[in-house]
Amino acid sequence: MIVPAKLAFTEKGTPYSPDYDDIYHSESGALEQARHVFIKGNELPARWRGRESFVIVETGFGLGLNFLAAWQAWADDPERCSRLSFVSFEQRPFVAADLAQAHRRWPQLATLAGALQAQWPVLAGGAHRLDFAAGRVSLTLFLGDATRLLPQLMARADACFLDGFAPAKNPELWSAKFLSALTRLASPGATLATWSVAGDVREALAAAGWKLERRPGFGHKREMLCGTLPGSRTATQISRSAMIIGAGIAGSSLAERLAARGWTVSLVDRQLGPALEGSGMPGAILLPLPAKDDNRVARISRAAFLHATRRLRELAAQPAASELRWEPAGVVQIARDAGHEALQRQTVDNLGLPDEYIRFLERQEIATLLGRPAALGGWYFPGGGWLCPSTLCRTLLAGHANINQRYATTVGSMTATAEGWLARDAAGRPLGEATQLIFANAQDALRFLPELPLQKVRGQISCLPMASFRDIKQAVCSKSYLIPNHGAGHDGIAYLGASFDLNDEETALRQSSHEENLAGLEAMLPGASRGISAANLPGRVGFRSMSPDRLPLAGQLPVNVGGIRSDLPLAAMERQRGLHCLLGLGARGMVWAPLLAELLAAQLEGEPLPLERDLVAALDPARFLFRKLRRS
């Protein structure tokens, strides 16, 4: 549970933390301190010049002034690196309104601060990835205890900003153990800077291997501390070319994330256009999967849900998004029975998450919200909503000229080359060569990767009469889900779904599936199915691809069994060069895809990852093989 910071000020007007009994910045000037101690102390902007990317790790986000100062210095530098990645930790973050109030003190940062405030995340624990400057500046903000979260960060730091509260007030962030863990994330030749010259801090850093020097401090501080690690960073040349098989939500999301980083992407699909198979359903709802114990599935789904809704807000504001159909009107998840209702209520109480993320509403509250009787109480996700997946795929692909889209093309074979992979079509004709080959083609990937435990699940939706649910604004779900006919650009049809038929290959509509959907509607909204006949009801059939543990597969593929040692940890398993996947998104592809595409793109680029280490492992496509080897 994240407890927000309280915005307070000293008698001199300096922002102050009652929790730590310390000020957030020097009374001599916050922005000036950030520039003198952290920007100049790390020899920026000179050190990022001539680089493709540069990574800064900070130990205390506070008001975000060090991030804003670094972003401004990067933006003002004509010789800046292509991408700036900033990672920071904060246990007591401000709510958005307090952050905005504090930022008014620095009008010279208004534009950048406004962009940060617009993307400020829901105050839920874990990693939050925010993108700025058309994706060229990223902020990965870890909310929670930094001593617990630092080992979860997967990154290589080029510069470190040590800016927690004073060692006497917040000793954990200055301990030898913490500083040693931070050092392990630093690249050879990395630098650090801090306003603290405390003896214990100097000793811990020196013991970790830093070469330290004192420099003139800022304000009332006579001295500050700077450090350099021995060695020099080896520049890694990345050949930025990828072939992605599959142009559904997984492939389209990944193509866009790589193209935004300057990659040349070839997107190949066997259909006549994007999102014509599983992602071709006319509607999908966005909501997370909370759990009382906040397990890994719940944490990943929360991170993915919050990331997806942020990305949709960004996309909706762009000119290329004119056809995007995204209705962020909220989602209601009605309990299945009395026991589930009690579990939902207890889950909300246990998690202590902000109301803007999740609330429990009693039955009458849901009835008032929807204007319809509700069977039971349930969860309400104000930030959720529904969208048309195909419009999202087309919007993602429309914004980048460096995505070569090839449709009505089936990949028949692939061959490893000296540089990467050569793909051929079903007739043996070359389709092209790329350094990275990525499978994002759902169940069809089993033609090449038969060892993956993917399961095929049939889903049928029912299209309901035009005027049936025009009065409902929120999407509603329980055993079934209802997307109402509401919102700009809607086709006037309400969508009800979806059946769940494991290993069922039937492509034709079935009346029994319509009846199942209508029974689910009646169970959550009594009386709602009255007058609707399952006979001859329109609909659509699609197929989901999912894994046994209901989590997607995202990352580099492992080598075959014969080349794997069972005594190694998962992360050390040998991988197939240049071969990756984004598969098994199941029924929540719209939730998973944006964040997991960012994850895979960051892995390929060597950037800080947007998820905690244990969650990345939970998504690793090698996990099933790893478990099999350990069992045997």
pLDDT, tens digit, 9 for 90 and up, residues 452-501: 999 999 999 999 876 678 789 999 999 999 998 755 445 678 999 899 99
Same domain, 290 and 324: yes
Domain range for 187: 8-228
Q: Which of 129-133, 244-248, 578-582, 624-628 has the lowest mean pLDDT?
A: 624-628
Q: Looking at the domain assignment, is residue 153 inside a domain? A: yes
Q: What band does 503 get if pLDDT is binned at 50, 70 and 90?
A: confident
CATH number where 586 lies: 3.50.50.60
Same domain, 129 and 175: yes
Q: Looking at the domain assignment, is residue 377 inside a domain? A: no
Give pLDDT tens digits for 44-94. Answer: 999 999 999 999 999 999 999 999 999 999 999 999 999 999 999 999 999
What is the mean predicted confidence (pLDDT) over 141-165?
96
Rounded to whole angstroms, how far apart are CA atoms 476 and 346? 21
Same domain, 184 and 246: no
Return the structure tokens found at 271: 């259909």
Q: Looking at the domain assignment, is residue 368 inside a domain? A: no
Same domain, 203 and 317: no
Q: Looking at the domain assignment, is residue 195 inside a domain? A: yes
Rounded to whole angstroms, how far apart are CA atoms 435 and 451? 23
* H or E element, residue 370: helix 363-370
Same domain, 217 and 255: no
Contact 160, 620 (CB under 8 A): no
Same domain, 22 and 106: yes
What is the domain count for the chain? Answer: 2
Q: Looking at the domain assignment, is residue 479 inside a domain? A: no
Same domain, 181 and 105: yes
Same domain, 185 and 259: no
Same domain, 26 and 87: yes
Q: Which of 228, 263, 283 is the last residue of a domain?
A: 228
Same domain, 179 and 67: yes
Give pLDDT tens digits for 590-629. Answer: 999 999 999 999 999 999 999 999 999 999 999 988 887 7
Q: Which of 192, 209, 228 is the last residue of a domain?
A: 228
% of the chain surpassing 70 pLDDT:
96
- Which candidate, 580, 585, 244, 241, places its Cα nearest to that of 397? 244
pTM of the model: 0.95
Q: Looking at the domain assignment, is residue 348 inside a domain? A: no
Q: Which of 207, 228, 249 is the last residue of a domain?
A: 228
CATH number where 149 lies: 3.40.50.150
The pLDDT, as a whole number, for residue 488 is 43
Same domain, 321 and 410: yes
Same domain, 206 and 293: no
Q: Looking at the domain assignment, is residue 531 inside a domain? A: no
Q: Looking at the domain assignment, is residue 126 inside a domain? A: yes
304 C-beta neighbours (distance < 10 Å), count: 27
Q: If 0-12 CB within 10 Å is exposed, 13-18 middle and 19+ buried, where does residue 292 land?
A: middle
